[in-house]
């Protein structure tokens, strides 16, 4: 068991090293970081709108760049190993196929964790900068009246405005948002892994995973639309939805991130529920990948 775990970690580290030394992913990640850092230059008139924009933009960039990294790096795992024939050298060693597959996947998860952490740091720095800019601008507005500090109403209004900026910029719920984005990325990567275990081409894996990702976003909308029809929902329609919801993970639940960005309170238990859902789905997908890969001719 310990030996098994060690081999998984060795393969995961090698996968991470490969991804880090590959310039394409580094460029993609740098692009994400730069995108987030420059978001504060898209100026909005009102300060709280500006902060909201940075938050939307930051989380959007983490989600999008993360999705690119998740799908692209997972989809190329097996084709590259087969092309370079490294898979033969590894599987001819005392390494089980499951260990190889899980090691590769863990490598991608580590890469995603690293990417999300780096982009989150850029996001936090941008928010902090935006916050200090906002506070400075607020102070400048009040300072138009040179005696404002001796007017209690003005001072109290100033503190109120600054508190509003700080509350908006230093929202602890952003941690929840980033955790949810990460969970969604890991799940997307697991979908790509399942496809790549039977796919013969990188492009097929990328396109199919993207389609499933899209369907995962639309399925709950479709359910809502059909269920609004009330009694008109046919047995076939409800059956189809049931099967779809079983096969395709419900990505739309993760749009709860938008609620967080809008400043609505989302309790931790709700976030952890969703993370648990992603974890269970990921484990099921991993088991499925192992089952397919176990019998694959290489």
Partner 1 sequence: MMDSSAFAAETVGLTKRYALSWKRRVLVALDHLDLQIKPGEVFGLLGPNGSGKSTTIKLLLGLIAPNEGDARIFGLPPESIEARRRVGFLPENPYFYGFLNGDETLRFYGKLCGLSGAKLEARIEELIELVGLQNGRERPLRSYSKGMLQRIGLAQAMIHDPDLLFLDEPTAGVDPQGSAQIRDLILRLKKMGKTVIFSSHLLEQVQEVADRVAIFSLGRKVLEGSLDDLLVEKQATLVNLPGELSAERREQLQHLLAQAGFNGADVSFSRPRLSLEQLYLRTVKADRKS
Q: Binding string, 18-57, against partner 1, x = CB under 8 A?
A: x--xx-----------------------------------
Binding segment (CB under 8 A) for partner 1, from list 16-24, 43-51, 52-60, 227-235:
16-24
**230: which DSSP letter?**
G
Q: Which is nearer to partner 1, 20 or 157 (CB)?
A: 20
Any contact of residue 217 with partner 1 (CB under 8 A)? Answer: no
Q: What's the min distance (Å) between Cβ of 199 and partner 1?
A: 16
String of contacts with partner 1 for each residue 239-278, x by CB under 8 A:
----------------------------------------
- Given 17, 145, 201, 273, the residue binding partner 1 (CB under 8 A): 17
Identify the burial level of 210 via C-beta atoms within 10 angstroms of its C-beta, where 0-12 means exposed, 13-18 middle and 19 or more buried: middle
Q: Is 10 in the site for partner 1 (CB under 8 A)?
A: yes
Residue 286 CB contacts under 8 Å (≥ 6 apart), including other chains: 101, 102, 105, 190, 193
Q: Which is nearer to partner 1, 18 or 48 (CB)?
A: 18
Annotate 175-201 with DSSP letters as a single string.
Answer: HHHHHHHHHHHHHHHHHHHHHHHH-S-
Of 54-113, binders to partner 1 (CB under 8 A) are 83-86, 88-96
Give the tokens for residue 126: 């941008």
Torsion angle of C-alpha atoms 229, 232, 233, 234, degrees rounded to 10: -170
Q: Which lies closer to partner 1 via its Cβ, residue 10 or residue 135?
A: 10
**Cβ neighbours of residue 278 closer than 8 Å, sequence gap 6 or more:** 183, 184, 186, 187, 249
Size of the site for partner 1 (CB under 8 A): 26
Is residue 106 within 8 Å of residue 12, measured between CB atoms?
yes
Q: Which residue, 43 or 295, is less far from partner 1 as judged by CB?
A: 295
Query: Quick check: 156 binds partner 1 (CB under 8 A)?
Result: no
Half-sphere exposure of 291 (CA within 13 A, CB side): 7
Interacting residues with partner 1 (CB under 8 A): 3, 6-7, 10-11, 14, 17-18, 21-22, 83-86, 88-96, 295, 297-298
């Amino acid at each position: 068991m310990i030996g098994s775990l060690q081999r998984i970690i060795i393969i995961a580290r090698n996968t991470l090293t490969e991804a880090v030394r590959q310039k394409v992913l580094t460029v993609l990640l740098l692009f994400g970081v730069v995108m987030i850092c420059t978001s504060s230059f898209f100026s909005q008139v009102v300060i709280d709108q500006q902060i909201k924009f940075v938050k939307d933009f930051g989380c959007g960039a983490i989600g999008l760049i993360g999705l690119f990294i998740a799908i692209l790096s997972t989809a190329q795992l097996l084709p590259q190993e087969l092309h370079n024939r490294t898979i033969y050298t590894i599987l001819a060693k005392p390494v089980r196929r499951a260990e190889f597959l899980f090691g590769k996947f863990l490598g991608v998860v580590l890469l995603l964790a690293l990417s999300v952490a780096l982009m989150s740091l850029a996001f936090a720095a941008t928010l902090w900068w935006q916050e200090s800019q906002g506070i400075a601008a607020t102070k400048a507005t009040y300072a138009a009246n040179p005696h404002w500090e001796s007017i209690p109403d003005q001072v109290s209004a100033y503190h109120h405005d600054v508190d509003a900026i700080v509350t908006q910029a230093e929202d602890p719920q952003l941690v929840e948002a980033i955790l949810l984005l990460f969970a969604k990325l890991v799940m997307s990567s697991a979908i790509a892994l399942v496809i790549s275990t039977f796919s013969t081409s990188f492009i097929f894996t990328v396109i199919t995973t993207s389609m499933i990702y899209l369907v995962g976003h639309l399925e709950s909308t479709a359910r809502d639309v059909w269920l609004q029809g009330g009694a008109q929902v046919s047995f076939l329609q409800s059956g189809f939805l049931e099967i779809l919801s079983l096969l395709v993970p419900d990505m739309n639940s993760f749009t709860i991130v938008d609620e967080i960005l809008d400043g609505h309170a989302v309790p931790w238990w709700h976030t952890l529920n969703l993370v648990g859902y992603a974890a269970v789905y990921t484990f099921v997908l991993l088991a499925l990948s192992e089952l397919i890969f176990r019998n694959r001719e290489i």
